[in-house]
Amino acid sequence: MTYCVAIKLDDGLVFASDSRTNAGVDQVSTYSKMHTFETEGERLFVVLTAGNLATTQAVVNRLKREMEEGVEGSFADAGHMSEAAEYLGRVNREEQEKHSEALSKSGIVAEATLIIGGQIQGDEPEIYRVYPQGNYITTSTHTPFLQIGESKYGKPILDRIITPSTPLGDAARCALVSIDSTIRSNLTVGPPLEVFVYEGGSYAFEHYLCLESDNDYLHALTHAWDDNIKKAFIDLPRFDWEATKGRKKRGTLFHARASRQASKPNR
């Protein structure tokens, strides 16, 4: 499985992804799901991938080849980020069609879902989610992030924390916590975790991290999150019937007696 997230902010973009692929309990591998493309000082793109590995690799290889060759309509000459998203959708659809018939006979789905983000000189930074059918969506003021893969476990923290004005560093930490929450609930998502923070207008890959499972910063972050979320839970308002220790003790004693009574055999 996969989990990737991209966040659009006033100051730039944040991308994060896991690196685990799973084709069964005995076929777990590690592949990067974050792919970068750039023309220095002019345009920069990040593509996050989820879905059939053969399809996503074919798509990424074609994107790189056509950009290097300057193919018309490719990343090399797209005038706007929406045009780059449209091009990515077309390539994704065409690569799926190449393999879908052969794979379908084996019960394998060739579909892939992608996120593209970045900036072209003269435009604002943007992110888009590209579907297997080739169509795409972008962010909104109320939902400034996009996810692909196993998204449900990591969404609540994003909903609570992320707004367009969130600082880039806070958003990157939030993205990592979002992935950590997903890892806790789904073993098919796992490290290494990749994070890239893009400062709007820089056209540079400067703030990139690849965090292995034994990374000190990742350990510190996840442990701090665990400790603080437990503390926040303990500090939640009490019920009226929990008001005094005496009531709590009587309640515990009552339940203990009831449990012993229920465990006695009938005579």
Q: What is the CATH number of the domain that holds 16?
A: 3.60.20.10
- Give the tokens for residue 106: 């084996």
**Is 28:21 a contact under the CB 8 Å cutoff?**
yes
Neighbours of 258 (CB within 10 A): 10
Q: What residue numbers bound the domain in which 164 lies?
A: 3-230
At 98, which helix (H) or strand (E)?
helix 81-104
Number of domains the chain contains: 2
**Is 183:215 a contact under the CB 8 Å cutoff?**
no
Q: What is the pLDDT of residues 179-238, one digit of tens each?
A: 999 999 988 888 999 999 999 999 999 999 999 999 999 999 999 999 999 999 999 999
Percentage of the chain modeled with pLDDT above 70: 86
Helix (H, G, I), strand (E, B) or coil at 77: coil
Statement to judge: residues 101 and 128 lie in one domain:
yes
- Give the tokens for residue 49: 């991938």
Statement to judge: residues 84 and 214 lie in one domain:
yes
The mean pLDDT value for 36-40 works out to 94
Percentage of the chain modeled with pLDDT above 90: 74
Strand order in the sheet with 112-120: 34-39, 43-51, 112-120, 126-130, 136-138
Statement to judge: residues 254 and 183 lie in one domain:
no
Please give the pLDDT value at position 260.
55
Q: Phi then psi for 26, rounded to 5 degrees?
A: -105, 15
**What pTM did the predictor assign?**
0.86
Calpha distance 177→265 (Å, rounded): 49
Calpha distance 126→120 (Å, rounded): 9
Please give the pLDDT value at position 252.
52
Amino acid letter at 252? T
Statement to judge: residues 122 and 252 lie in one domain:
no
Reported residue count of the chain is 267
Statement to judge: residues 61 and 170 lie in one domain:
yes
Statement to judge: residues 139 and 246 lie in one domain:
no
Exposed / middle / buried, residue 2 (Cβ in 10 Å: 0-12, 13-18, 19+): buried
Statement to judge: residues 165 and 247 lie in one domain:
no
Scan for tokens 């009938």, then name that residue.
Answer: 266
Task: Please report, for residues 102, 103, 132, the alpha-carbon distance to residue 107 in angstroms, rounded to integers and kept in the order given.
Answer: 9, 6, 17
